[in-house]
Structure 1
Amino acid sequence: MDERILTSLVATSRRVKAWARKFPKRRFLFHELKSIDEEYYVGVRGIRGVGKTVLLLQLANETEKSVYFSADSILIKPFSLYEVVKALAKMGYRNVFIDEIHRKPDWAEDLKTLYDEHEVRVFFSGSSAIDLVYLGADLSRRVVLKELPPASFREWLNIKKGFDVPRYSLKEILSKAFDLTNMYAELHPMWQEYMREGGVLYPESGFYDALDNSTRKVILEDLSALREISVKYETDAFKLLYFIARSAPFEANYSRIAKHLEVSKNMAIRLVEDLSKAGLLISVNPCESLRKEPKLYLTVPLREFFARKGFKVNQGALREEFFVNHLRHYGVCYLKGKRGEKTADFRVREWVIEVGGEGKGRYQKPDYIAVDGLITGKNKIPLFLFGLIY
Structure 2
Amino acid sequence: MENLLVEFQQKIARTSLDFQRYLIDEIDWHNQLIAIRGARGSGKTTMLLQYIKKNLDLKTSLFVSLDHLYFIDKTLISLAKDFSKIGGTHLLLDEVHKYPNWSREVKLIYDDVPELKVIFTSSSMLEIYKSESDLSRRAVSYDLKEMSFREFIVFETGLDLKSHTLEDLLENHTEIAQSLLTQIKPIPLFLKYLEFGAYPYYKENIKLYHQKLLNTINLIIEIDINAVDHISYDLIVKLKKLLFAIATSAPFTPNITKLSERIGASRAVLIQAIKQLERAGLVNEVYRPTKGIGVLTKPEKLFLNNTNLMYALAKSSTNVGNLRETFFVNQFKNLAVIHLADQGDFLVNEKYTFEIGGKNKTQAQIHNVKNSYLAKDNIEIGINNIIPVWLFGFMY
Question: What TM-score do you get using the length of structure 1 for normalisation?
Answer: 0.91
Residue 218 of structure 1 aligns with which residue? 220
Residue 84 of structure 2 aligns with which residue? 89
Residue 360 of structure 2 aligns with which residue? 359
Instruction: Give the conservation status (yes or no) of the 8 Å contact 1:346–1:354.
Output: yes
Aligned residue identity for 2:362 = G
* Superposed counterparts of 1:1-390, under 5 Å: 6-20=1-15, 22-33=16-27, 35-38=28-31, 40-61=32-53, 62-64=55-57, 65-117=60-112, 118-135=114-131, 138-185=134-181, 186-202=185-201, 203-205=203-205, 206-290=208-292, 293-300=299-306, 301-308=308-315, 311-329=316-334, 330-336=336-342, 343-349=343-349, 350-365=351-366, 367-374=372-379, 375-390=381-396
Deviation by residue 1:61-101 (Cα, 9 ceiling, x = unmatched): 21232111111112332222112222222222110111111
Instruction: Give the conservation status (yes or no) of the 8 Å contact 1:253–1:293.
Output: no
Aligned residue identity for 1:348 = V
Q: Distance in 2 between matches of 1:136 and 1:143?
A: 14
Q: Distance in 2 between matches of 1:385 and 1:56?
A: 29
Name the CA shift for 1:140/1:251 in 2 (closer, same or farther; >3 Å): closer
Aligned residue identity for 2:360 = G
1:225 deviates by 3.7
Structure 1 segments unaligned to the other structure (5+ residues): 1-5, 337-342
1:292 deviates by 6.8
Aligned residue identity for 2:41 = G
1:204 deviates by 4.1
1:45 deviates by 0.6
Q: Distance in 2 between matches of 1:16 and 1:286?
A: 46
Deviation by residue 1:167-218 (Cα, 9 ceiling, x = unmatched): 1111111112222222334122211211111111113413223322221111
Structure 2 segments unaligned to the other structure (5+ residues): none
- Report how many aligned residue pairs link the two structures: 374
Aligned residue identity for 1:346 = F
Percent of pairs identical after alignment?
Answer: 30
Q: Distance in 1 between matches of 2:197 and 2:110?
A: 37
Instruction: Give the conservation status (yes or no) of the 8 Å contact 1:25–1:159.
Output: yes
1:333 deviates by 0.9
Partner of 1:307, secondary structure, is helix
Instruction: Give the conservation status (yes or no) of the 8 Å contact 2:123–2:224.
Output: yes
Name the CA shift for 1:378/1:256 in 2 (closer, same or farther; >3 Å): farther
Q: Distance in 2 between matches of 1:67 and 1:199?
A: 29
Instruction: Give the conservation status (yes or no) of the 8 Å contact 1:254–1:293.
Output: no
Q: Distance in 2 between matches of 1:297 and 1:161?
A: 29
Q: Distance in 1 between matches of 2:376 and 2:232?
A: 43
Aligned residue identity for 1:153 = F
1:52 deviates by 0.1
